[in-house]
Structure formats: structure tokens, C-alpha cells
Structure 1
Amino acid sequence: MDKESMVATLLRRLDAVTGLDEADIAAIRALPIVVRPWEAGRAIVSDGDRPTECCLVIEGFCVRSKTIMNGQRQILSIHISGDIPDLQSLYLHRMDHDLISLVPSRLGFISHAALRAMTRGNPNITEVLWRDTLIDAAMFREWIVNVGQRPAASRLAHIVVELRRRLAITGYTESGAFEMPLTQEQIGETLGITPVHANRIIKQLRDENILDINRGRVRVLNETRLAELAQFDDRYLHQSPSL
């Protein structure tokens, strides 16, 4: 895989939310990236690690999560092609959560030294990555509200709409359908409910002809009812440099 292909989705995403000039694009393309295949369910970085590189998702899906002492896990965010989900490790030296691949993925690893050199030599890219980090924080806030205040069916609908909106920016959606490779247990961990409850919610949305979730793919059956259920306001995604 050539360098342009590796960073194409990252550049598309950053340009959509921030705007990039030619110098920014050239600097990002010049980053040294080590590409590694990654099997499903394998930790990329774990709680307590001190990483020396950041991970670019080239192909695949990853999640951030926290596991408490009794073994229960909360999924905190879903990451797709073009994301650098552990960018904070550039300045927060010890990981306080896990980053795990959901499916067989292709990941690009960029050393902290290379990222620091790029940001020091390109102040505009520093601003771009700072804005990207702030958008990440905005998404965390929305997920807290989603899990804490919305009914379970609305939680799932909201996450589905968010993921579809993000995948659309990077070109990874089809008409009415897209990948969401979460198992029933992982959907429960994302929504803060049990797997049994998750199964009931998935069945409810299918029976009500709103969504069909099957074998890691989502098919939207009724756009209007999905929008009503999700209560989705996309401002927090800031998918325009003007927002």
C-alpha cells in the first residue's frame, strides 16, 4: 500500500472538519508510517501502557473502552478508517483506557518523535490536530448524555446515526446500509445495558421497521422514525470548518 492510500481517508476527514492547505497535506503525506495487520480483538494499546507511537486506522474498526475491577466493560467510542484514536498519548504519557480492534484491521503506526517534529515545523497542522482533539471531546460529551439520559432504543439509534454520518465523510457507506461490526455483547457494552437487553432493543427496532442490525451490518428501514428516535443534532461532530 502506497503512502497516499494510507493517509487518504485521514486527509479527507481532516479537510472536511477543518480544511487543509497544500503544505499541510504534504507534511502529513511525508510522515513515516509503519503498516501492520491487526487481528480482531487484540489490544492496540492497553490501560497503563506508555506508548511511543500513535495509531492511524487505515482499514477496520476499533473501540476505546474501560474495564472495572469486576470485569465489566464500557465501550467509550467507536473508531473508523481515518481516525487517530490514541493521539492523546503524544502528551498524556500513560494510557488510562484500552484501544482494541473490533475486526481484522490494517493499522499505521507513527512515532511520537515524527508527530512532534511535524507539529513543531507546521503550526497550522498543530491547530488542525488540536481542533480534531476538541471534536473528539465533544463526541465524548454526547456519548455521556446518550448513555446517561436517553432510553436504550434511542441510545442505539443515536449511535447508529452518528456512525453513519462519520462513515459518509470517509466514503464508507452504501445506500441505506453500512458496517457496524459490534456483537450483541459489544452493543450492550456501548449502551450500558446487558446483552439480553441489547438483544431486545435490536429486535424491537427490527419489529418496528426502523433498523435491521444483522451480522455486523446496519440497514436503515425508516429514515423518519430513526431520526425521531435518535434525537440527533449533528453540531457536536463539527463536520465543517465553519462550525
Structure 2
Amino acid sequence: MIDVLIDNLNARDELNAQEIAHLATIVTSERLVAPGQDIVPEGSRPMTSVLLLDGIAARYRVMNDGKRQITALHVPGDFMDLHAFLLKTMDQGVLALSRCRIAIATHSDLQRTTETMPHLTRLLWLLTVIDGAIHREWIASMGRRSTKAHLAHLICEVYIRLKIVGKTDNGSFHLALSQAVTADVLGISIVHLNKTLQSLRRDGVFRWDGQKVSILDWIKLTKIAEFDDTYLNLVHEPR
């Protein structure tokens, strides 16, 4: 059940057998969440943290006028609200964008992990650090990249994150994002999004048909995006 989490962590360091067995013990209660349903409501005080096993989810913030801003995308292998273990109150919510399969770890089990397994604790901490690094890169994209580069960068990032956990197939991957959600992520209108997609199609860098994205020219795509995966911390080394 937790293979995607193990793959996510093993991309950065090596879990030992005891750590893998411990994760298998504390990550439990697998269930399905329908598209459009809250996984963790904004303002809630959860006693568990949620691991995404399959599907795609988003972190979001609802403004006073009711408008929503998506602030993060979550892919399999992500602990989507691990920060709530320490922060206690969810300042943002987590929403299922597709049919999602999830599991949970109780905060009491996570507390026990921090007290008895220092290396595994550091790796779980690393996930929250990488989450912050992704946020910083998104801010850079929103503020300084052109819309074309921003969308190209998003495709590069999601592809790499899915590849780490074995969710790509020969340069293709499943991406269940509607045009409205994609435009929300980029902070643009749907009309602007369609023009940007058409431009990237003409460049021949990727094809997006329904919920399937196929990378056609990775090198050219990364150049358009100015993509550097350093912020994803993919160097495999002791932590």
C-alpha cells in the first residue's frame, strides 16, 4: 500500500527494513475520496496526516469573497498535510481533483516515530522541506515566468514527481486537471490557457489529450520552462 511513499523517500535516501516495516504499521485506513470532495477541510484540526496513494489533489485557500486559489498540487507519495502534525490547525484545505485513494497516519503514531526513529523522522521532515521548496518555485513562476514558461514548468515538475513514484509510462502520464483548475493554478483565464496550450502544441514539446499528457521533446520543454529540478532535492545521499 505504501510503495509510493517508499519510492518518494528512497529517491532522496535509503530506508532500511525496520523503517519500511514501521511505515507499513502506522499508515493505515485506506479509503477512496470522490472528485471535488474535501480530504482535509480548511480550518480543521486533524488528528491524522493523509498520504495520497493514487489520484491528484490540491491544496487551496478560499478568500473572503468566496474565490478559491490553488496553492499546491499533490501526487501519489505525498503526505498532503504532514505540517498539521505541528501546526495543528489547517490554514488551507486539501481537495480531491480526481478519484483519490488515501491512507492516514495518526499524529500519535507520528509522535512516537519522532521519539524512536530519528532517521525516518528526518526523511519525513524532508518531505515538508521539499513541499516548501515547491511553493517557493511556484511563487517564482507566478511572479517572473511568462505564462508559456509557467505552464511548461508545471508540466516538467509534475512529470518528474510522478516519475519518482513510478506513475509515468515512456514519457506519458495521467493528469486529471480540468481547464478551470489548470487556469486556477497558473492564475490566468481559460481563454489565456487555451492560447498558451496552442502555442506549446505548435512548439511540439508535449501533447495533452483529455487526461493524458505525452512529453514529445523533453529538452526543448525544459528550455522553454527554464526548468532546473534542484528544488525537488533528487540527490540520493545520507540525510
Q: Deviations over 1:119-144 (max 9, x none)?
A: 21211111111122111111111111
Structure 1 residue ranges without an equivalent (≥5): 1-5
Q: Deviations over 1:165-210 (max 9, x none)?
A: 1111111101121112111111111111112211211122113322
Structure 1 match to 2:92:
97
Normalising by the residue count of structure 1, what TM-score does the alignment of the two structures yield? 0.93
Q: Deviations over 1:33-92 (max 9, x none)?
A: 111111011011121111111111111111111122233322211111111010011111
Structure 1 match to 2:148:
153
Structure 2 match to 1:199:
194
Distance 1:132 1:107 in 2: 17
Distance 2:27 2:155 in 1: 34
The alignment partner of 1:33 has SS state of strand
Structure 1 match to 2:65:
70
How many residue pairs match? The answer is 238
Aligned-partner residue type, residue 117 of structure 2: N
Q: Which runs of at least 4 in structure 1 moved beyond 4 Å after TM superposition?
A: none
Aligned-partner residue type, residue 146 of structure 1: S
Query: Does the 8 A contact of 2:26 with 2:106 survive in 1?
Result: no
Distance 1:32 1:172 in 2: 20
Distance 1:234 1:121 in 2: 32
Normalising by the residue count of structure 2, what TM-score does the alignment of the two structures yield? 0.95
Structure 2 match to 1:3:
none
Query: Does the 8 A contact of 2:27 with 2:103 survive in 1?
Result: no
Q: CA deviation at 1:32?
A: 4.8
Structure 2 residue ranges without an equivalent (≥5): none
Structure 1 match to 2:158:
163
| Identity across matched positions, percent | 33
Structure 1 match to 2:129:
134
The alignment partner of 1:40 has SS state of coil
Aligned positions of 1:182-197 closer than 5 A? 182-197=177-192
Distance 1:233 1:204 in 2: 22
The alignment partner of 1:125 has SS state of helix
Structure 2 match to 1:214:
209
